[in-house]
């Protein structure tokens, strides 16, 4: 029964070194991701949430090796992807795709959509030249883009359609894993629902696995099976969607959730307003990284970093009070 997970991330660290000034001899690294561990099962959607700058995109990019990592391991189907040569990675890469927040910026304005979708297919030798147009049309239709748009240019599409193109660009490669980084954050709310439904449909039809990144817990709720809450490069809470929304245990999760409206008017969440801004990740607070903003801070929180521990089956929390 126990199959290995599709994605297995262990003690992942990614530090960026930057000089802040000319006289800065020993620059302090930005600990963008600081010892993060989680798994994603096949066919599952893992939601990664947290404020801007918490390290979400860095994790997403590390997972498909869009950049190198500082420490730890990332396995895809048991294969340590950061230990593979560029050549070995090339064939693996088709299986792992990335969908950006703004697909427009990654599309060449002078290239027709059909050609943009055909290019990676031909490049990787996945279909022959005479088959490629049919394949592109097929993927366009699956992604809700009428195939008669095949000869249009990017500017001729609406925001929602452009995100469909972004998703089609990932789907043409027939991946089984997609990192979607804030894919609906730039869209109107009505369009957001359509794109989220498209992700769901593709998952059902093609058994896709997703890492779905968002700063907005209400977006993640409708799509994810599991959710991880990130703060300053560390995982604060990680559990199933149902447990997280019904019984959030970490003060940071509680604060984020308190801002999400509940559809049931008989229920209310107590609004927790966080004080201050997210601290500088090059110089994070000692002890619990959240202590400068937590409403429940105690002495121990200033000195000792809480362990990320399993407090009930499948529910992990890093807080001294839980
Ligand atoms: N290429 C880079 N060089 C230096 N610092 C970076 C780089 N990419 C990200 N960072 C820093 O790492 C931290 C996490 O960034 P990011 O992963 O983009 O967060 P998020 O996606 O949650 O907004 C931020 O402090 C950011 O400034
Ligand atoms: S460890 Fe302390 S500061 Fe950190 S979240 Fe828990 S109560 Fe708040
Ligand atoms: Mg980001």
At 217-237, the pLDDT tens digits run 988 988 999 999 999 999 999
For 313, the token pair is 């089956």
Summarize pLDDT for 172-230 with one digit per residue, the tens.
Answer: 999 999 999 999 998 998 899 999 999 999 999 999 999 999 998 988 988 999 999 99
The preferred substitution site among 27, 55, 185 for testing ligand 1, maximizing ligand atoms within 8 Å of CB, is 55
> Closest-lying ligand to the alpha carbon of 229?
1
- Find where tokens 């991330």 sit: 9
Residue partners of 78: CB distance under 8 A and separation at least 6: 4, 8
Ligand 2 lined by 291 (C-beta under 6 Å): yes
Distance from C-alpha of 253 to C-alpha of 255, rounded to nearest angstrom? 5
Which residues, including other chains, have CB under 8 Å from residue 22's CB and lie 6 or more apart?
none
Atom of ligand 2 nearest to the CA of 320: 1
Write the DSSP string, 264-278.
Answer: -TT------PPPS-P
What is the predicted pLDDT for the residue at 99? 95
Give the H/E segment covering residue 65.
none
**β-pair partners for 238:** 228, 316
List all residues 6 or more positions away from 50 whose beta carbon is below 8 Å from its beta carbon.
Answer: 56, 215, 229, 230, 231
Q: So what's the pLDDT on residue 197?
A: 95
Signed CA dihedral, 26, 31, 37, 43: sign only: negative
Pocket around ligand 1 at a 6 A CB cut-off: 16, 18, 30, 32, 50, 52-58, 281
C-alpha closest to that of 116 among 133, 96, 99: 133
pTM of the entire predicted model: 0.94
Report the C-alpha gap between 135 and 73 in whole angstroms.
35
| C-alpha span between 26 and 51 (Å, rounded) | 28
**Confidence band (pLDDT; 50, 70, 90) for 308?**
very high
Please determine, for residue 1, whether its predicted confidence score (pLDDT) is greater than 60: no
Nearest CA residue ID for atom 5, ligand 2: 319
Can you tell me the distance from the alpha carbon of 126 to that of 97, in angstroms, rounded to the nearest whole number?
15
Q: Is the CB of 305 under 6 A from ligand 2?
A: no
Q: Both tokens of residue 29?
A: 């690294």
Q: Extract the tokens encoding 285.
A: 């607070």
Tokens representing 253 are 């999760």
Q: Does the beta carbon of 289 sit less than 6 angstroms from any atom of ligand 2?
A: no
């Amino acid at each position: 029964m126990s199959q290995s997970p599709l994605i297995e991330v262990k003690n992942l660290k990614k530090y960026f070194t930057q000089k802040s000034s000319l006289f800065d001899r020993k620059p302090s690294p930005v600990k963008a991701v600081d010892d993060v561990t989680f798994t994603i099962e096949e066919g599952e959607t893992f939601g990664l949430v947290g404020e801007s700058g918490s390290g979400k995109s860095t994790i997403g990019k590390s997972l498909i090796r869009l950049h190198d990592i500082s420490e730890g391991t990332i396995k895809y189907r048991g294969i340590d992807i950061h230990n593979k040569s560029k050549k070995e990675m090339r064939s693996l890469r088709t299986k792992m795709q990335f969908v950006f927040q703004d697909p427009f910026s990654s599309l060449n304005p002078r290239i027709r959509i059909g050609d943009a979708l055909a290019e990676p297919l031909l490049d990787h030798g996945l279909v022959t030249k005479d088959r490629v147009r049919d394949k592109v049309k097929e993927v366009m239709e699956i992604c809700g883009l009428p195939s008669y748009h095949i000869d249009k240019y990017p500017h001729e599409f609406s925001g929602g359609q452009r995100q469909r193109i972004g998703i089609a660009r990932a789907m043409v490669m027939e991946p089984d894993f997609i990192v979607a980084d804030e894919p609906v954050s730039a869209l109107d709310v009505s369009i957001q629902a359509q794109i989220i439904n498209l992700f769901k449909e593709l998952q059902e039809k093609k058994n896709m696995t997703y890492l779905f990144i968002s700063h907005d817990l209400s977006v993640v709720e409708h799509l994810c099976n599991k959710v991880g809450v990130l703060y300053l490069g560390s995982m604060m809470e990680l559990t199933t969607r149902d447990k997280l929304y019904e019984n959030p245990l970490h003060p940071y999760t509680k604060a984020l959730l308190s801002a999400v409206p509940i559809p049931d008017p008989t229920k209310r969440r107590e609004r927790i307003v966080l004080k201050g801004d997210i601290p500088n990740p090059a110089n994070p607070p000692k002890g619990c990284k959240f202590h400068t903003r937590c409403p429940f801070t105690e002495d121990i929180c200033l000195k000792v970093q809480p362990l990320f521990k399993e407090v009930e089956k499948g529910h992990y929390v890093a807080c001294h009070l839980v």
